[in-house]
Amino acid sequence: MAAFWIPLVLVFLVGLHLPKAFTLLYLLYAVVFWQTRNVPPLPSARLWPLLPLSVFSLGYAWASLHYGLWSLQGRDLLDLISMLALPCGGVWLGARLAQRWTPRQLSWLWLAYGLGALAYVWAVLLLGRDVFSTSPLEIWRQHRDLSIAVPWGEQGVMNVRSVEQNASFAVAWFFPGLWLLLRREQVRLAQYLMAAGLLGLLAVLAFHGRIGFLVGLLSLLPLAWVAALERQAARQSLKFSAWALAGLGGFLVLSLVSLLWGRGDITSRLLARVYDERIDRFVAFLSHLPGTFWGGQQLSFEYFEQQRQVWVGFDASAGDLLHNVPFDLVVRAGLIPAFALLLAVVPLLVRSLRSLGHLLQEPSRRPHALIAAGFLIVLTVQWLFQPLIYADGLLFYFGFFSLGALAFLPGDPPRFENDQ
């Protein structure tokens, strides 16, 4: 029993972003290494993504040292060790654990991280919005703060977007929970997923974020995949479609309330929430890509922001970020490490999607596949629209572990001594 619960507790604490959480992540990997010591080695041909992943880690570390962005002492040295050890180590350990644990057991790991992250978000909201000395409604009053007080950690405050993204996991499980509840499958699990999803949505509304709503909409894709696979009676399909549309309508109503809750011109607020300035920044970056081939965090340019109709400056040396993991890596470490990372991650992502597709076809494994799919959706969105490696290094590195586990899921995991 301890062999199952110890990793779950550690993952929950990592998701909670406690002080010294990286130490907990290393401890988790040590526990997984010990538990999988008797697992037969995977064929080396299947582990080829570790080669480009090693090139990424070495290239990123070399560029950071070469350009003076890191030094061989203090926190920089710890970051260097993590960059060299955690990407490859995470994929390898995740792949080994997938040979020992069932998809159901693995899904509890993703739940543990997501629930820990959700608890962290609400701890921040309760403290940062000063709920205990004012009114609970203070959480949802109009706030446009860029940073918020956090209950623990080296810094007393944190960027609100770095906090808000931790609610996305729960949001990703709301519609799957509703879907399972309507079908009366795994009813208790479905109720827990819906409860967590509602808390996640309330947190997203409190931060006036957009990423959470995007994740919620994308979480419908696995359900659409299952609906396309199933050959149900027309009445059942129509019933599910009606409930799905009703749920989506309620989701959009919540979004509209968030959009219109505040002062000022309604049209301006609507455009400000729907429009994303990242697109303008991405397009401008691609046009300046040749100038940052070798990285160095020296890129600077101006781009035209369509919504505000103004020219905006971007200066990487001043700490500006593109909010896209591969793009931000190019700016810092150059094109070669970023390309090597994609060469490793994209095949792992494809394998993960293929594994989830197989699991979604089996009714007994479907609820746990939906949990894993929600985790993978959040991870993908964070890679595409957030500077994840800098905003949440814990999730960035834990993501390699999750990719390794999902990409190397066998059809029927063998059982080993002391398995639960």
pLDDT digits (tens, 9 = 90+) for 122-177: 999 888 777 766 666 667 666 667 788 888 877 778 888 888 899 999 999 999 99
**Cβ pair 314, 280 in contact under 8 A:** no
**Which of 182, 161, 100 is closest to 382 using CA atoms?**
161
Query: For residue 13, what are the CA distances in angstroms to 6, 19, 232, 243, 371?
Result: 11, 10, 42, 36, 19
Grade residue 413 by pLDDT with cuts at 50, 70 and 90: very low
Domain assignment of residue 18, yes or no? yes
| pLDDT value for 143 | 64
pLDDT higher than 70, residue 335: yes
CA proximity to 339, closest of 59, 46, 48:
59
**Looking at the domain assignment, is residue 333 inside a domain?**
yes
Q: Inter-axis angle of helices 335-360 and 220-229, to 10 degrees?
A: 40
**In this model, does residue 268 exceed pLDDT 90?**
no
317 part of a folded domain:
no
Instruction: Show the domain range for 69.
Output: 2-268+328-407
> Which residue from 373, 392, 372 is spatially nearest to 382, judged by alpha carbons?
392
d(CA 3, CA 18): 22
Tokens representing residue 412 in the block:
């029927």
User: What's the average model confidence in pLDDT over 316-328?
Assistant: 93
Q: How does DSSP assign 129-176, residue by residue?
A: TTGGGS-GGGGGS----SEEE-SSSSSSEEEHHHHHGGGHHHHHTHHH
Output the DSSP codes for 201-215: HHHHHHHT-SHHHHH
Q: Is residue 414 part of a domain?
A: no
Residues 399 and 53: beta-carbon distance below 8 Å: no
In a domain, 93, yes or no: yes
Is the pLDDT at 8 greater than 70? The verdict is yes
Pairwise CA distance, residues 333 & 16, whole Å:
30
pLDDT given for residue 43 in this prediction? 87
In a domain, 250, yes or no: yes
Residue 297 zone, left/alpha/beta (φ > 0; ψ -120 to 50; rest): left
pLDDT surpassing 60 at residue 256: no
- Across 86-100, average pLDDT: 96
Given a cut of 70, whether residue 49 has pLDDT beyond it is yes
Contact yes or no for 388/166 (Cβ under 8 A): no
Phi, psi of 302 (to 5 degrees): -115, 145
Say what percent of the chain tops pLDDT 70: 83
CA distances from 214 to 8, 169, 410 (A): 28, 12, 31
If you write DSSP's letter for every residue of 228-284 in order, what string do you get? HH----HHHHHHHHHHHHHHHHHHHHHHHHHHHSSSS-HHHHHHHHH--THHHHHHH
Model-wide pTM > 0.85 = yes
With a pLDDT cut of 90, the percent of the chain lying above it is 61
- 299 falls within a domain: no
In the chain, the number of structural domains is 1
Which pLDDT score, from 0 to 100, does residue 240 have? 53
Q: Distance (Å, rounded) from C-alpha 296 to C-alpha 311? A: 24
Distance separating alpha carbons of residues 20 and 220, to the nearest angstrom: 36
Which is more confidently placed, 242 or 377?
Answer: 377
Q: Is the pLDDT of residue 67 over 90?
A: yes
**Of 243 and 76, which is predicted with more confidence?**
76
How high is the mean pLDDT of the chain? 86
CA dist., res. 401 & res. 408, Å (int):
11
CB 19 within 8 A of CB 120: no
Whether residue 298 is contained in a domain is answered as: no
pLDDT at site 146: 77
